[in-house]
Structure formats: C-alpha cells, structure tokens
Structure 1
Amino acid sequence: MDLVKNNYPQDSKVYLIGSGIASLASAVYLEKDAGVPAGNIHILEKDTILGGALDGAGDVEKGFVTRGGRMHELHYTCYWDLLSYIPSLEDPNVSVRDESFEFNKRFVTNAQARLLKDGKKLDVSSFGLNLKQQAELLKLTFSSEKFLGNQSIEEFFDHGFFQTNFWLIWTTMFAFQRWSSVAEMRRYMKRFIHLVEGLPKLGGILRTKYDQYHSVVIPLTKYLEEKGIQFHKGTEVVDIDFDLSDDKKTATVLHLKDKNEIVLGKNDYVFITNGSLTESTDNGTYEMPAKLKGMAESGSWKLWKKIAAKDPLFGNPSPFCDNIDQQKWYSFTATLKDNTFHDYMENFSGNTDGTGGLVTLTDSNWLMSFVIARQPHFPNQQADVKIFWGYGLYPDREGNFIDKKMSDCNGKEMLEELWYHLKIQDLMKPVMDAGKVNCIPSAMPFVDSLFMKREIGDRPDVLVKGATNFAFLGQFAEAPKDCVFTVEYSTRTAQMAVYGLFETAKEVMPVYDSIHNPLFLIKAAQSLAR
C-alpha cells in the first residue's frame, strides 16, 4: 500500500513522544511546513526537563552538569536549516545558526594537545597506520552494510590497528569501542571523509556558543511555545495500540502511565522517539559516586520493547539496550572558583579555551578525555568561575592513581586521577584544599547503545511499510547514509517523518555527499598514509 499524504492538516492532532531534538524539530516542521495548527501539536515528555540528550544545567553553588557534548560540523544540512528559523537566546534578530557560525569564526578549533602520555603531548602528525591498515580502512569505506553484517570493529581490523594514533583519536572523538558495529564506523568514514585530514587537530569541528541546552533547546522551546505548541511534562506513554494488517498499520490508542489514554482520531498522528542515549542517567556528587541504573528506570526503552513485540517492522531494541556493560560510560563536570587549571592548560597546550577541543590521556586505564569549552559555557556562569567536562570509555577498570574503578569514584577522586595524569597534583592541591572545586559524575547506562552490533532492520524505518499515521524518530530510527550520535541524524528523521506523512511540497535535504568528491578522497588517502 502506498502512503497517502495528509492534505487536510488543519483537522489533525499530532502527538510527539519525547522532547529531544527529533521531536522539537518535528514540531517546527509540522507547524511551519505541514500547516498543522500549533495548538494541535502535543509534545509528551515523561521528565520535567525538555531537550533529551541536549542538556546543560546548574549553578556555581550546586555545580554545573553537562552529561556530554554534541560536536557539530558545517555540513549538518538539516540541523542548520532548522536553526536558521530559530531566534537565539540573547538576540531575537539573530538566528541560532548565525550565532553559532559567528561564534565559530571567532573560536576556531585547532587542538594543540589532542593526545597526551605521561603528561606530555604526543606527536599526531602521523596516524601511525601501516599499509595493510590503510587498505583495510579504504576497504571498509567502500564495503556495503549487507557485506559487513553485524561484525564488530575488532573482528574487521587486526590487533595492531588499536595501537595507532588513528584509533586513539577515533575512539575518543566519537566514542566507538572495539566491540562497536563496524557498519556504523563505515557510515562515519563515508559521511565525514572530508574531515579525515583535520582529525588530529579536530579541524572542522563546530560548537554552540553556550551548552546545548541554553544555545539550542531553550530557543527552540521558546519558539514553539510562542507559536502555541503544547508541552505536557511529566507525561509518560507506556504502550501504544495498533490496528495491524499485512498492508496497513495504524496507531489507535496511547496509554499513559497515569492510566489515562489518548484515543487517536482518523486524522491524528503519533511520532515515537524509540530509545534514548541519556535514559536512566544518575548524577553523583563531589563525595558520592553516581549509581548505575538501567531498564527498570527507563521509559523509552520499555515502550519500544512493548511495541516491537507487536510487529517485526517496528525494530528490535534488544541489541541496543540489553548489554549495559558494553554501552555505558561515565562522565564528569568540574566547576572551579579558580583559574589555576584553565591557566595551566592554556599555557601547556597553546590553546585558549574553546579552541582546543578534546584532550585524551592515552595512558589512562579509564581512557579519560576532557574538553575545555569557551568560557562562560553557561549564561549564568560568573566571570571568576570555570567549568570543564570529561569522560572515560573504560569505567570498569581501576585507575592508575585512584585504586578504584571509575564507576566507583566520586567527583573528587575523578579529578585526582586527572591531576595525576597531567602531573599537576601539587599545583591543584591548594585549590582543592580551599574548597574551590566541585565535580559531579554522571553514570549513563545507554550512551553508547547506538554503536552496538546490529542487523539491518533492528532500527525501524522512520515510516515503516504500511504506516498510515505514525513515525519513528531519533537515533534508533533508520536514516540511510547518515550517522547516529549526531544532532543531524535526529533532525533528518524529523524531516523524513513530517515530509513523508504530510503534503508539504518539500523534500528531505540530502546527506552531504563528500565521499564522491575526488578532492576529499585524495586528501583523506594522503592523510591516512602520513
């Protein structure tokens, strides 16, 4: 059955499950392009804070928290198009896109201390790949996903590959693990081939002016609220009924946790964000470690499991959520009422804050990395307060200095491990003793779930065959050619859903096709051979 697009949007109600960037983007496109009345668009969010993985909160007394940072680049066509319509937080005459582009013209990423060992900078002028490894990377780039199947990265490459600068840069920049899907790595190689030349210094990486909650989520929600879109916080959807047949699939009822239900009329729709990177996160304190939670505390994963059991086309969440020990990592956010650390890193690295990007401690048992963003990173951050963020890819290993697993460490111990690797324990001891430091650890059980080995079909299509009034959104819906773990991917699924279900006379914007540009291919090959 061919999908019939809606030509009468004025009579439709649309319910968006979750309030991440995919849902927020969908709401913009539904009102602006599809013509659905704003008052008929309802965003249902189980938590009390909007924005999904685009987060950032706190103050100097309690400490600031960013669970992670989403890197951007110039060719996020869907994402930057979306933000071109959204007034910025501080100036309604400037769009979020233009604010971000202007910010990145002033603070250009050029990392001078990308990899460290024994507290010293490593030479990253060469990726350290031998001819066989270079050939394997090129083979991967031009292989099909069907050919690769559900292989892991370590099943595709030889053992020596994981000792190279290329892998150290790659694994920490994108959070791929050895056991991650090599098919996802292939997508990254194809999608970002134009960035390979600049990887050692993070060339081409863009960031927002402030943390992404204040730079993106607040402007987006303000825009939508002023239009009249309805937000329903504390509203959790726990199940969805469908009328299913071989050629037609229709969502009929949304069941809420409070036992209420929403019955969908014949012209109503539901957009489902299935799965979540930041679901079940727990924050610790300076004195207390974060607790690892899981499925029991999740909402979106349990919902997806329920509806996936009703039809094979609704995907298979198990590969993405049943192996928490391989999907988790821990991050931390430090708040300092002192300039000592930031001054040291500026002098040591040669980067002013906001231009250095990710710094990785290659000899860290936790494989710890950290980022110093441009200060202030929060609009409410005082001039004498500094913050930075970091994470560890191997939280179940004991530290090199702290005799504990990272997962068992409080914020203070994570910082002490960092000072040890940088050889600045004596420098930072007076700052710590004076109580001028706070550090909040975060345990994220599902953050690497999107890179798990998977089969074709495990992620459902945005518009499954026969769907009449529903769509899947976000990182665990299938957007061919594009890369998960990006804001672009979520925004693209929003375009696919809205433009696929409603008559808008608009097409989904194409994925930037740098893989077919000979210049980028030549530069990438030359860079891999350095």
Structure 2
Amino acid sequence: MPHAHHEGNPVRKPEEVNAYLVGGGIASLTAAVHLIQDAKVPANQIHILESGPLPGGSMDGAGNAETAYILRGGRMLNFSYLCTYDLLSKVPSLSDPSKTIMDVSRMGLNAKERADLLQIAAETEKTLGTKRIDECFTKEFFDTKFWYMWDTMFAFQPWHSAVEFKRYLHRFIQEFPRINSLAGVDRTPYNQYDSIILPIETYLKSQGVDFHYETRVNSLSFHPGSAITVSEIHFASTKDGKTGLIHVEPHDLVFLTIGSMTSCSSLGTNTTSPKPLPAVEEALKAPDGAWQLWSSLAKPELNPHYSAFGNPSNFYSRINESNWLSFTVTLKSPEFLSHLETVTGNKAGTGALVTFKDSNWLMSIVVPHQPHFINQPSDVQVFWGYGLFPSAPGNIVHKPMQECSGAEIMQELLGHLNFPEHPALENSITIPCSMPYITAQFLTRKHGDRPEVIPHGSTNLALMGQFVEVPRDTVFTVEYSVRCAQIAVHELMGTKEKPKDIYRGEHNVKFLVEALKMLLT
C-alpha cells in the first residue's frame, strides 16, 4: 500500500511503527507509556535515545550518605496537574504522595497592587507582548509578601515574561486561598527521581522498551518536499564518539525534546565552587547536545523547514537573566534540623519552604520528608535549597553565591539562622549546583519563538519539553512536559484518549471568589 502523501497524517498501524524518542526526560518517558497503553505500539519498537547515563532529564536525584546526595531541583505537584496524575495512574507506583503545610500570614497587597494583578490577569497575551513583569507593577509590589511567596514558589524574576506570569495567575489561582499555607501542594514520598522517574523506567524496561544511554543525537534529515517528514537520525556515542545513523520510514515517529533547563549545570563540592557561568556559545557545545540540536533545526542554512522550529537563541543567549544556584545538604547529625524546627515552627519533613527574606541571595530551603532517598540511612538527613540572586555578595560570606564552596553556602545559611558554625559545618556536606538556563523558559518571548508540539506541515515529528508552545499551560512544571507528550502521541497516532483539559481554577466561581477575597485581605 503506498504511503499517503496528502496533508494530515495517515492512520498508522501500531504494529508497523518504530518510535524514536530523543532525550530521556519526563516527556519521552510519558510518550513511551502512552504509546504502549493508548496507541498499542509494541514496546520493543519504542527506542529512547538519551545522551546521559540515566533517564529523568532535569528530574534527578543521586548519591549516597558517604559522599553526599545531590538534587538539582525539587518539583511541586498539585491537584490541578491532571495530565501528570493521569500518567502516574498508568504506572505501577512504589509508594504514596504525602501532603505538606507551611504558614505565612496575609499577602500584604495594597489596593493599587491588587488592581494591577487583576489588570494583568485580564489583559490579552497579544497586548502584553514582550513586556516584563516589572513593567506592569510599581516598585513596591516586589517587596510585598505576595511577591516573595510567588517568586520563591515559582522562581519568577521581575524581568521575566509578563505573559508567563499571567498564565501562572490563571493556572494557579486556585492556590490563592491556601497560598499562605501551601496546603494545595502534594509532595512525592522520596525525591522525584526515586518516586516518579524510577518507577516509570522500571515499568518501561519490564515492557521491553529499548533504552540507549550515552547516545547523543546531533541532527535530523528530512525527505525532500514541503511536508516535514524525518528520514534520518544522526547520533554519536558520548563515550567513544562513534557515529551512526537510523533510517526513519515515513510511518515511523520521532519525538524530540528541545532545549534543556539543566544543560551546562555545574556541580561544586563542599570545598570548591561550581564552574563560572558559561559564555553564550557554550550552550551549543554542551555534552547533552540539547541546544545544539534545536539550533540546527532552526537555522535556514541547515533546514529548509527552519521557520517551523522557533527561535532557540532567545532562550539560551540570556544567561544573566536565567541562571540560579541550588544546593543539597547531607547532614550527619540531627541538631541542625531540630534548631530549624524551633526557629520556623515547621516540623522537619513537612516539605515547607523557608525563605530568608533578608538574604542578599534570596535564599530558600526545603526540608523534605526523611528519608528522601531510597538508600538513605536513618541517621542521615538531606535537604535542598536555592538562591535566586547568585551574583550578589552574601550577608555573612561576603562573596557571590556563584563563587562559594558548599561549606561557605552552609556558613551563610547558619548565619541567617543564628546557629553556631561548629560542629554544624563538620557534620554536613553541601554540594552547590550552578544552572545557567534554569529559568530560560520564563524569559520574555514573542509569538513564534516557541515551536508547536506538531510543527506546521509535520507528518512524523513531534517536539516536546519546556520550550514548545502549549496554549494556556504553564512552563517550569512537570505537567507541561507530560501534557506535550500526551498531545504528541494523541495527534500522531490518532488515539481516542485526548489529553485532559487544563485545570482552570478561574472558571470555578467559588474558587474565583475565594481567591479574590484572599487578594483583598
């Protein structure tokens, strides 16, 4: 039977499809689960190509009690993440999520600030355009409790995109009545690698999915013609540099995760700082290849279909607007956490976010439920933190967070808590992690900078991750990656199950009234 060359995708026979998933993050893992369960593609015809030694992408967690644990970040989940919970309901779980609470009193917004918030919520994305958040509010707004909670909870900066801020307002408005307690936040029982990635990987391997680690995809080739139909995938081993290519039939599928918020991450140690921030062109040389591959697809001289692939340089070329620093502390004795409990009134392990408002680095820490790792001994505790202003000098350690060793970051934290440095410093190992692109997906952008999940004219290629355009949904969430993977499988395989609609708190009148009441206290 000849292949249909008309516009619109021919209905595929699942038993004939080979699916190639480039990148081993949550988007690819999600696509694989849905290809098996909804699209009925045989698991051994699903191939995941990942440049690193492990799956999980930015959702990582590793280490041990001796040399220290490391987490680059933590994710908050809440009940509006309909796609994520749909995915998790399809995978045999290892344990149950636990709920958490943190107490902060009123929001501290005045009438003008409340009016500005309602104004930005009502504006269209078109009229907001490339405006920054700080172009929509007075300077005082950024000193309110509301903003402190908002920027520490979601890592927004005043210069980030007003459009993205507006999307978050709509998406999380159901959090306002409880934003002072974070009661709407679900936490996973362990770190997210052990709680989400590991069970999905275990499930996919048991089904027979074909995983290729340390395999970096460098470029795609396309069949000639006006349609976007991938014909070849060019890859190289990150171990020995050997290159190879995969022939892609028109009825096969390619799912490509574009860009990476953890590319060029650099770990320090307890005694050394992470590497300095990279130069712009370093993004394209990163070992994972994520920015380089997307850039090659968006270049007119390399790809006749370049205009369907967005504008990657908008997101990777503004490191001073997108970087921050996180750190993971491994504690060998319990005094620090019991002191923290006394100071904050938060039971250690409730997952509460503690922000040091007077910190020049705007430092926050999160103490998760212990143990946070499956292999963690009972006398060891782990917590995680971050600073949103890593180039500012510390209040106690008078140098930029970016240039601090782990021990110096711990020293700064102990100072903010008025806790004796010794023996706390000897009883802890702190691993700093610099992430140049961690909030790149929040940067101002114009229409078309982010490509569609199914690029216009594509017959067998879908794009996924934090840098594609999913109307109305919010980036920097697990949900965004999961949703774009579900859209990709649904569209390319024509499955019956459509992805769940975006939870829209503002359509629920009760929520809207409660949320506005909260804003008006």
TM-score bracket for the superposition, by shorter chain length:
over 0.9
Q: 1:140 aligns with which of 120, 134, 138?
A: 120
- The answer as to whether partners of 2:230 and 2:250 remain within 8 angstroms in 1 is no
Question: RMSD of the TM alignment (CA)?
Answer: 1.3
Range that drifts further, 504-513 or 333-342: 504-513
Which residue in the other structure is 2:494 paired with?
A: 503
Which residue in the other structure is 2:251 paired with?
A: 267
Q: 1:51 aligns with which of 35, 56, 70?
A: 56
Q: CA deviation at 1:5?
A: 4.6
Which residue in the other structure is 1:446 paired with?
A: 437
- The answer as to whether partners of 2:29 and 2:201 remain within 8 angstroms in 1 is yes
CA distance in 1 between counterparts of 2:224 and 2:330 reads 52
Which residue in the other structure is 1:115 paired with?
A: none
Q: Deviations over 1:268-298 (max 9, x none)?
A: 1110100111111111100011113441325
Q: What TM-score does the superposition give when structure 1 sets the normalisation length?
A: 0.92
Aligned residue identity for 1:376: P
Q: CA deviation at 1:126?
A: 2.2
CA distance in 2 between counterparts of 1:429 and 1:78 reads 47
Which residue in the other structure is 2:18 paired with?
A: 13
CA distance in 2 between counterparts of 1:77 and 1:449 reads 25
- The answer as to whether partners of 2:229 and 2:250 remain within 8 angstroms in 1 is no
Q: Deviations over 1:137-171 (max 9, x none)?
A: 11111211111101111111111111111111111
Aligned residue identity for 1:263: H
Q: 2:424 aligns with which of 428, 431, 435?
A: 431
Residue pairs, 1:196-275, within 5 angstroms: 196-243=176-223, 245-246=225-226, 248-257=227-236, 258-275=242-259
Which residue in the other structure is 2:503 paired with?
A: 512
Residue pairs, 1:35-50, within 5 angstroms: 35-50=40-55
Aligned residue identity for 1:499: H
CA distance in 2 between counterparts of 1:159 and 1:68 reads 29
Residue pairs, 1:104-183, within 5 angstroms: 104=99, 109-112=100-103, 124-183=104-163
Q: Deviations over 1:456-489 (max 9, x none)?
A: 1111110111110000011111111111011111
CA distance in 2 between counterparts of 1:505 and 1:360 reads 45
Which residue in the other structure is 1:492 paired with?
A: 483
CA distance in 1 between counterparts of 2:196 and 2:114 reads 38
Aligned residue identity for 2:461: F
CA distance in 1 between counterparts of 2:141 and 2:225 reads 49
Matched, 1:81 2:71: no
CA distance in 2 between counterparts of 1:3 and 1:338 reads 61
Matched, 1:319 2:314: yes
- The answer as to whether partners of 2:215 and 2:235 remain within 8 angstroms in 1 is yes
Q: 1:353 aligns with which of 326, 348, 361?
A: 348
CA distance in 2 between counterparts of 1:160 and 1:84 reads 44
Which residue in the other structure is 2:518 paired with?
A: 527
Residue pairs, 1:290-309, within 5 angstroms: 290-291=274-275, 292-293=277-278, 294-295=282-283, 296-297=285-286, 298-309=288-299
Provide closer, same or farther for how the CA distance between residues 494 and 145 of structure 1 changes in structure 2, counting only shifts above 3 A: same
Q: Give the fraction of aligned pairs with identical amino acids, expressed as a percent.
A: 43
- The answer as to whether partners of 1:127 and 1:165 remain within 8 angstroms in 2 is yes
Unaligned runs of 5+ in 1: 90-95, 113-123
Residue pairs, 1:339-418, within 5 angstroms: 339-418=334-413
- The answer as to whether partners of 1:5 and 1:503 remain within 8 angstroms in 2 is no
Range that drifts further, 265-274 or 236-245: 236-245
Which residue in the other structure is 1:118 paired with?
A: none
CA distance in 2 between counterparts of 1:193 and 1:354 reads 26
Range that drifts further, 54-63 or 255-264: 255-264
3-state SS, counterpart of residue 189 of structure 1: helix
- The answer as to whether partners of 1:86 and 1:223 remain within 8 angstroms in 2 is yes
Q: Deviations over 1:401-459 (max 9, x none)?
A: 101110000000000001111111x2x41232xx3210100011110100000011111
Aligned residue identity for 1:316: N
Range that drifts further, 463-472 or 310-319: 310-319
Which residue in the other structure is 2:239 paired with?
A: none
CA distance in 1 between counterparts of 2:130 and 2:352 reads 32
Q: What TM-score does the superposition give when structure 2 sets the normalisation length?
A: 0.94
Which residue in the other structure is 1:117 paired with?
A: none
- The answer as to whether partners of 1:368 and 1:391 remain within 8 angstroms in 2 is yes
Aligned residue identity for 1:429: H
Which residue in the other structure is 1:64 paired with?
A: 69
Aligned residue identity for 1:87: P
Q: CA deviation at 1:245?
A: 4.4
- The answer as to whether partners of 2:218 and 2:293 remain within 8 angstroms in 1 is yes
State the number of aligned residues. 500
- The answer as to whether partners of 1:3 and 1:501 remain within 8 angstroms in 2 is no
Q: CA deviation at 1:347?
A: 2.2
Provide closer, same or farther for how the CA distance between residues 38 and 422 of structure 1 changes in structure 2, counting only shifts above 3 A: same
Q: CA deviation at 1:244?
A: 5.8
CA distance in 2 between counterparts of 1:342 and 1:141 reads 39
Unaligned runs of 5+ in 2: 1-5, 237-241
Aligned residue identity for 1:483: T
Q: Deviations over 1:349-372 (max 9, x none)?
A: 222223252111111110000000
- The answer as to whether partners of 1:5 and 1:500 remain within 8 angstroms in 2 is no
- The answer as to whether partners of 2:12 and 2:251 remain within 8 angstroms in 1 is no
CA distance in 1 between counterparts of 2:29 and 2:144 reads 40
CA distance in 1 between counterparts of 2:497 and 2:224 reads 29
- The answer as to whether partners of 2:223 and 2:229 remain within 8 angstroms in 1 is yes
